[in-house]
Structure 1
Amino acid sequence: MKGFCGFLKKYKKIIIIITIVILIAVIAYVFLRPRSERTSAKRESRVATEGIKRMNLSNSVSITGTIAANDSQTVYSNHSGCEVISMNVEIGDSVKEGDVICVLDSSEYEESIAEIEKEMSIASQKSALNVEQAQRDLAEAQADAVTDAARAQEKVDQTIEDYNAVVDRKSSAYNTYQLAVSNREEKQKTLSTQQSKLKEAKKALEEAKEAQTQAESALLEGTGDQAAVDAAVQAAADAQAEVDTRNAKVASAKAEVDAAQKEEDSAKTAYESFGDQIESAVRSYESALDSQQDAATQAGRTITGREESLTSASLDASTANDENKKKIEEYRKLIDKCTVTAPISGVVTSIHMEVGDEIAQDNNKICVIQDNSGYKVEAFVDQYDISSLYEGMEAVIKTDATEELEMKGTVTFVSPTPEESSAGSSSDSVTYSVEIDIADPDEKLRIGMTAETSVLTETAENALAVPYDCIGENEKGEPVLYVVDKPQKSEDDEKKTDAATASQREIVVKTGLETDYYTEIISDEISEGMLVSASGVALQNTSNGESGREMGGFKGQMSVPGGGMGKGSPRN
């Protein structure tokens, strides 16, 4: 701060001189400039306005193309060596699909068919004999199969009877074995019961002996008596007798269990002995089944072989003439094609054959037919515009022949690749083919005419719009309109508004479709007919008037003259 103050003191005189010079220059500019310039500044306080309009907006790609038929077909014939024996059309004739264009000589094909039909008759007779022999062989094999099957079934039935007899005996032995098992289990339960009672008797004996010992000890110690000792001794003797009795019963039960076990083992052995017999019976049965199956398989193979032979003979009979039939069919197709017909309806635009000419591989073009029921525009679009075009877009077509008539059309084809002639060219010459169908072609149209076409790439119908320059930007970078609500029109120009008396406001809008001149604007605060600043800036209020020098004198107070501002910063 001290340094700055020192600077001011040091250069104070210089600063004052510079300030005076600047002030004199400003005053001289304001009061000494020409009157015409001051008058112009005054007029700038009246700024031009534009009205908001409702309109249909669109952008388009302009294309120059050629009128072509919806379809064009060149009629060819591949019948090399065939002569044209009649030509039914001339250039300019209208034909319908299927109409006869010309007729070629087909006698050679007809002779070939006659020869093939003779070969087919002989082949059919041979095939019939082969089929009859195959049928006899099959019938013989089927009869042998029935006889062999009956014999094999008898053997199978006998083994089944043998098997069932063994099964019955085994079942009886099994029942005996089950009874022995039940008896042994019952004896085992009795043994278990006696063993449990023996265990209880032994426990009672131990308790009696313990009581006897305690009674004798009490007697010796003088706390017991002899009667208690005698009672304990007797109880111990009784418990011993019970143990002896239970031991005898356990021994008897064990003996019975052993006897029952022997009976069970004997019954089991008898039952299990039938296993080998069952297995033998099963093997006999299975062997009989195998023999039966082998016989059936062999018979089946024989029958199948005979059936295949019959089928083969039948197929040979049915297909013996297939190749010949195909040849005849091909010849008949060739004969049919000797009558050349129109592939489409339209006009014959060129003829390349006449009666007496012979078809050759390098000379097989007969005529050209173009469908004149509808037209399309064929054109080429450069790489800068092709990405804007899509199938289904609407278009407007004009020609010199139809003058100002605008015909509607639709883009039906946009090539995904450039034309071969331009694929290797420089970037400036790369083009893509497009086609536009004409919805309602005028009767004056002719194939080959030049067509000027506009393809609509963007549209906004019934949109509110203003000229591009009417849209400004606020400090936030938002697009705005400066709407003049109560303008007072000047006398010399109805499209200009006096900034000194106008009431204006800023409205933020959204922009939509932009064309070369108009831009779509979107906001709930705007309506058709509103006036807005034509330059996209606010009107400057200059109600204080303009100071200037007239006739060499000074008038009014000094002020910097007001005026219209230039257009704001460009929009992105």
Structure 2
Amino acid sequence: MGVIKKIGGFCKKHLKLIIILVVIIGVVLFIRHKAQVAAQAMLDAQNEPVTSTVEKMDLKKSVGVTGTLTANETLTVTSTLGGTGVTGVKVSTVNYEVGDYVEKGQTVVEFDGDDYERKLTELNLQNDITNTESSMSIEDMQKSIETTQKKIDEKQKWLDDNKAIYENLKDAFDQYEKYKDSDPSVVERWNRESAAAAGRSEPVSVQGYEAVEDEVETLKEQIRTTQNKIELAQMQQNYAQNYTQVDAKNDLYESMDKTKVAAPISGYILTMNVEEGNNYTQGNTVFTIADTSGFIVEATVNEYDVANIQKDLPATVKFEATGDEEFTGTVSFVSIASESTTSAATASSNYGAASSVSTTGNAASYKLKIKMDGTDDRFRVGMTAKASIVLDSASDVLAVPYDCVQQKDDGSFFVTSIADDGTKKDIPVNKGLESDYYVEISGDGIKEGMTVEAIVSDAPSTDIMDYMTFE
């Protein structure tokens, strides 16, 4: 009784400590139990294979690209009104605003053209003055020829009338020069003939006759020169009337036409760069217009994928603004040169052969275009597009995840089927089209719905705490 009494007294005195020890022992026993259960669960999980099912499906092998939605055609419209460098052409009317739809040929912007009628009148008067002056110059030269020809006729008549006298004098003079020192009769003849010729009402001498002959030749040369000048003047007049003046009028008419800037295509006005009352400088943008009867996605693809992408491949496109809805399109253009190559060529042409663009360490990118099939009221130029270009596809084929297909040392492939009773069997297969996650398989013994083992790196956890539960 004394011992019991002592124990009772001890317990009463250390009741709190005893309660704490009991709780600790209970927790330890509880954790031990849970650990045993978790260990068994871990062992069971390690022995449980990861499986998948052979399914029939449609497979697609694709390349993803990101781009921007653009219109079928976008044009920047300028004007050459007034000629190079001319400023101060007033904008009189702007007929459309940004967002308006315009048919091809409709006048979008008009410039002030009030003075063109005056310019046309001035040009016609100037042409009349030039043509009249040219005709008068030709007429004066023709009269000059007539006057000169009369002089030639008069002098030629005198030469003809006195030809015999000149020839006699010339012969007498030639004989005189040869025999004047030896033959007195020759001297006498010369004196007689020269005195007779000089005593005529119109004196004749050898020197005078030959001088008139020279004058006739000079006058004839003047006529030939004047005739050449007439021919040249007529050619210039003809050229001016048929070309220069016509071109000047056409330029003026063209400038008059340029006072009205029309839409080159049907579409929507994207930007309007002029305002009524402001001045316009030749060559600046008047407006931009987009043909939205069709749309194109402009994107880039890296050098690792571009070789597999060909024109006319199908594509599916999604836009952030339209959620998960898919739209279809077709690849319409694939660049044969990378963007860096194009940039280098541009830099070289602008700054000389010494210029270059370095792409060291960067994968080259290539431009491509996807022509959308049809349009949608929600499409807007500039939308971000995510496109999937279909390189290959297969319909209604048997497929499994990649991890289900294993490879032997000889390079052949197989899958491991698992029967309902858990027995396993390796079945040879041929691999077909590979998508992002699935691969097409075929072979004897492969059936839809078959369970096959997957060899995955994410095996069941070996951390015991993952299997312990506490309530």
Shorter-chain TM band: 0.5 to 0.7
- Counterpart-to-counterpart distance in 2, 1:448 and 1:431: 20
- Counterpart-to-counterpart distance in 1, 2:48 and 2:277: 89
Residue 388 (structure 2) aligned to one of 450, 454, 457: 454
Q: Show the 5 A alignment for 1:390-429.
A: 390-415=310-335, 416-419=337-340, 420=343, 424=358, 427-428=361-362
1:498 aligns with 2:438: no
SS at match of 2:280: coil
How far is the alpha carbon of 1:36 from its aligned partner? 10
- Counterpart-to-counterpart distance in 1, 2:296 and 2:244: 47
* Equivalent position amino acid for 2:290 in 1: Q
Report the equivalent of 2:439. Answer: 519
Q: 1:480 to 1:72 in 2, by over 3 A?
A: same
CA contact (8 A) 1:90 1:348 kept: yes
1:136-181 CA-partner distances (Å, limit 9, x unpaired): xxxxxxxxxxxxxxxxxxxxxxxxxxxxxxxxxxxxxxxxxxxxxx
Q: Show the 5 A alignment for 1:42-57.
A: 50-57=52-59
- Counterpart-to-counterpart distance in 2, 1:466 and 1:515: 10
CA contact (8 A) 2:415 2:453 kept: no
Report the equivalent of 1:534. Answer: 453
Report the equivalent of 1:68. Answer: 70
How far is the alpha carbon of 1:522 from its aligned partner? 3.9
1:480-507 CA-partner distances (Å, limit 9, x unpaired): 34567xx3x24xxxxxx334xxxx5643
Residue 377 (structure 1) aligned to one of 294, 297, 304: 297
Identity percentage over the alignment? 29
Q: Show the 5 A alignment for 1:189-338.
A: 319-321=239-241, 322-338=243-259
Runs of 5+ in structure 2 lacking a partner?
1-35, 143-230, 345-355, 456-471
Runs of 5+ in structure 1 lacking a partner?
1-33, 134-310, 491-496, 537-572
Report the equivalent of 1:355. Answer: 276
SS at match of 1:329: helix
- Counterpart-to-counterpart distance in 1, 2:361 and 2:44: 54
How far is the alpha carbon of 1:397 from its aligned partner? 1.5
How far is the alpha carbon of 1:447 from its aligned partner? 2.2
Report the equivalent of 2:100. Answer: 93
SS at match of 1:401: helix
How far is the alpha carbon of 1:323 from its aligned partner? 1.6
1:88-109 CA-partner distances (Å, limit 9, x unpaired): 1222222111111121123444
Q: 1:354 to 1:476 in 2, by over 3 A?
A: closer
Q: 1:424 to 1:474 in 2, by over 3 A?
A: closer
How far is the alpha carbon of 1:325 from its aligned partner? 0.8
SS at match of 1:326: helix
- Counterpart-to-counterpart distance in 2, 1:89 and 1:39: 76
1:113 aligns with 2:120: yes
- Counterpart-to-counterpart distance in 1, 2:426 and 2:273: 77
1:439-483 CA-partner distances (Å, limit 9, x unpaired): 133312222222222222332233332222332334532223456
Q: 1:347 to 1:42 in 2, by over 3 A?
A: closer
How far is the alpha carbon of 1:515 from its aligned partner? 2.3
Q: 1:473 to 1:314 in 2, by over 3 A?
A: same
- Tell me which structure has the larger Cα radius of gyration: 1
Q: 1:408 to 1:39 in 2, by over 3 A?
A: closer
Q: Show the 5 A alignment for 1:13-28.
A: none
Which is worse superposed, 475-484 or 394-403? 475-484
Q: 1:71 to 1:511 in 2, by over 3 A?
A: same
Q: 1:104 to 1:518 in 2, by over 3 A?
A: same
Q: 1:427 to 1:98 in 2, by over 3 A?
A: farther
- Counterpart-to-counterpart distance in 1, 2:301 and 2:439: 26
CA contact (8 A) 1:375 1:438 kept: yes
How far is the alpha carbon of 1:86 from its aligned partner? 1.7
* Equivalent position amino acid for 2:293 in 1: S
How far is the alpha carbon of 1:339 from its aligned partner? 0.8
CA contact (8 A) 2:399 2:439 kept: yes
Q: Greater helix share, 1 or 2? A: 1
* Equivalent position amino acid for 2:56 in 1: R
- Counterpart-to-counterpart distance in 2, 1:522 and 1:126: 97
Q: 1:474 to 1:358 in 2, by over 3 A?
A: closer
How far is the alpha carbon of 1:516 from its aligned partner? 3.1
CA RMSD in angstroms comes to 4.2
CA contact (8 A) 2:56 2:399 kept: yes
How far is the alpha carbon of 1:69 from its aligned partner? 2.1
1:34-59 CA-partner distances (Å, limit 9, x unpaired): 99999999998886664433221112
